[in-house]
Amino acid sequence: MLNQVQLIGFTGAEAEIRTTSGGKKVATLRVCTSRYSKKDGERKDYPTWHQVEIWNQSTVTWLAKRCLEKGAKVFVQGEIRHDRYTDSSGAERFFSKVVIAMPGHELKSLDRQSASQPEEA
């Protein structure tokens, strides 16, 4: 079986990095992809927001050092997971997220580096 997704998009904000009660670090990142259509010569964009959850510790460490800013172009490869929670009014809510946790999953910056700023891995 295969559960894999690849996205190229732009970050919506800097990543949020937190520590779980078990001491593991996890990062959350919002990434926007878009598609467009043209009708009568006018372009219409359709953005889609994706929540990316990063459990791979080396990727979380890289992300903490790198500080991807809002609008950074990124490549994301991970798996789709569906989750649910109960909101404050008692309604059950569902959402999907891309999870980077396994070997082969990755997050890469696609922004060009300036000559004075070497790429860190």
- CATH number of the domain bearing residue 76: 2.40.50.140
Pair of tokens at residue 49: 């927001």
Is pTM beyond 0.75 here?
Answer: yes
**Quick check: 119 pLDDT over 70?**
no
| DSSP H or E segment with residue 73 | strand 73-86
- Whether residue 120 is contained in a domain is answered as no
Q: What is the pLDDT of residues 10-50, one digit of tens each?
A: 999 999 999 999 999 999 999 999 999 998 889 999 999 99
- Whether residue 51 is contained in a domain is answered as yes
**Quick check: 59 pLDDT over 50?**
yes
- Whether residue 119 is contained in a domain is answered as no
Q: Is 76 exposed, middle or buried (0-12, 13-18, 19+ CB in 10 A)?
A: buried
User: How many domains are contained in the chain?
Assistant: 1
Q: Measure the CA–CA gap between 62 and 71, rounded to whole angstroms.
A: 18
- Whether residue 117 is contained in a domain is answered as no
- Whether residue 21 is contained in a domain is answered as yes
Q: Measure the CA–CA gap between 69 and 49, rounded to whole angstroms.
A: 16
User: What are the helix (H) ranges across 14-83?
Assistant: 57-66
